[in-house]
């Protein structure tokens, strides 16, 4: 009897444990299914904000290189222009630059030369330092810088967009079937390509101005000016010269008149006929009066 009761108790405990285990498994499966049913956006919103591992890389990748245009206007006074010019040309070549414009003009008081020099931006400051050490007296110096980074980025972005539009128009042109569509797309392509050329030209100009700095150099050498009056001819020489010019003018007039001889004969004949006709008319009138 006791063994039977003990057996029944063991069976009852085993069944109760298995039922609780089934309940736990069912609850776990329901929870798992509920988690999967949550929308992705909700999960993202409920996830706590954590620092992104790629943020440092994105910040480094967006570092923008500055685009600076450097210009300088300098005036110098030298004691010997030829010697200074030889040194200047040699210095420009040593700094990998070149002279884009050179104007020389002289007068009785000075020698003046305006030179436009293009120097790589990295050598700009060194060139100015060496120029000031070249033995010339600096009359004035003006250095200016312009930051064109924003304009450079804007032009690059617009150029990229225009090229993308050009590519789409080219794709549409390949798919066009009617003459009207082909002509319209070709006109759009012509306009966008002109805009691309203009934008690319502006970008090339800015790139040139950034990579090569401009130096406007004015060189002056003062000369020892001495006034020397011009020796004038005496009165008799001037009188003979005036008579000679008058005689030549008379000859030129006579030659001009002789060139018009056909017209002179015609005019003389016309005058002769006119007076003859007038005299006859007067004679007829005089006879009638008698």
Tokens standing for residue 282: 């007067």
User: Which residues on neighbouring strands pair with residue 137, listed in sequence order?
Assistant: 77
Q: Write down the pLDDT at residue 229.
A: 65
Q: Write down the pLDDT at residue 264.
A: 81
Whole-model pTM?
0.52
Q: Write down the pLDDT at residue 7.
A: 54
Confidence tier at 163 by pLDDT (50, 70, 90): very high
User: Which residues on neighbouring strands pair with residue 215, listed in sequence order?
Assistant: 72, 117
- Distance, C-alpha 139 to centroid of its chain: 30
Q: Write down the pLDDT at residue 41.
A: 34
Average pLDDT over residues 147-165: 90
Q: Write down the pLDDT at residue 232.
A: 66
What would the pLDDT profile of 8-25 be if each residue is shown by its tens digit? 555 654 555 454 444 434
Cα dihedral 131, 132, 134, 136 in deg (nearest 10) = 110
For CA atoms 258, 263, 269, 275, give the dihedral sign. negative
What would the pLDDT profile of 77-123 be if each residue is shown by its tens digit? 998 999 999 999 999 999 999 999 999 998 888 899 999 999 998 99
Q: Write down the pLDDT at residue 15.
A: 53
Angle between helices 261-289 and 235-259 (to 10 degrees): 70
Q: Write down the pLDDT at residue 60.
A: 41
What would the pLDDT profile of 219-249 be if each residue is shown by its tens digit? 999 988 766 666 666 777 778 888 888 888 8
Per-residue pLDDT at 40 exceeds 70: no
Per-residue pLDDT at 140 exceeds 80: yes
C-alpha–C-alpha distance, residues 205 and 146, integer Å? 14
What would the pLDDT profile of 174-225 be if each residue is shown by its tens digit? 988 899 989 999 999 999 999 999 999 999 998 888 889 999 999 999 988 7
Close Cβ partners of 116 (under 8 Å, ≥ 6 residues apart): 99, 100, 101, 102, 214, 215, 216, 217
Angle at 226 between CA 221 and CA 230, to 5 degrees: 130
C-alpha–C-alpha distance, residues 78 and 176, integer Å? 70
- CB of 259 closer than 8 Å to CB of 115: no
User: What secondary structure does DSSP assign to 181-194, as a single string?
Assistant: HHHHHHHHHHHHHH
- Rg of the chain (C-alpha set): 51
User: What secondary structure does DSSP assign to 110-125, as a single string?
Assistant: EEEEEEEEEEEGGGHH
Tokens standing for residue 223: 């000369």
Q: Write down the pLDDT at residue 30.
A: 36
What would the pLDDT profile of 243-280 be if each residue is shown by its tens digit? 888 888 888 888 887 788 888 888 888 888 888 888 88
Q: Write down the pLDDT at residue 228.
A: 65
Looking at residue 253, what DSSP letter applies?
Answer: H
């Amino acid at each position: 009897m006791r063994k039977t009761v003990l057996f029944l108790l063991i069976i009852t405990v085993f069944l109760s444990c298995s039922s609780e285990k089934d309940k736990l498994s069912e609850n776990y499966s329901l929870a798992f299914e509920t988690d999967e049913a949550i929308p992705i956006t909700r999960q993202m919103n409920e996830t706590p904000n954590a620092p992104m591992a790629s943020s440092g890389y994105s910040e480094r990748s967006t570092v923008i290189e500055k685009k600076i245009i450097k210009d300088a206007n300098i005036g110098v006074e030298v004691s010997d222009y030829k010697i200074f010019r030889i040194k200047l040309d040699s210095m420009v070549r040593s700094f990998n630059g070149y002279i884009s414009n050179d104007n020389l003009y002289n007068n009785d008081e000075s020698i003046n030369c305006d030179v436009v020099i293009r120097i790589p931006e990295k050598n700009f400051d060194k060139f100015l330092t060496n120029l000031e050490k070249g033995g010339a007296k600096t009359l004035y110096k003006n250095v200016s810088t312009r930051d064109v980074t924003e304009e450079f980025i804007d032009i690059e972005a617009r150029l990229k967009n225009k090229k993308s539009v050009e590519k789409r128009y080219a794709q549409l042109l390949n798919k066009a079937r009617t003459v009207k569509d082909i002509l319209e797309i070709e006109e759009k392509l012509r306009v966008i390509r002109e805009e691309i050329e203009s934008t690319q030209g502006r970008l090339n100009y800015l790139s040139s101005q950034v990579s090569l700095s401009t130096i406007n150099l004015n060189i002056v050498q003062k000369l020892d000016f001495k006034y020397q009056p011009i020796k004038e001819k005496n009165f008799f020489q001037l009188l003979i010269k005036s008579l000679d010019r008058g005689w030549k003018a008379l000859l030129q007039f006579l030659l001009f008149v002789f060139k018009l001889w056909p017209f002179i004969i015609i005019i003389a004949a016309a005058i002769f006929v006119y007076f003859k006709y007038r005299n006859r008319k007067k004679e007829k009138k005089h006879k009638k009066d008698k």
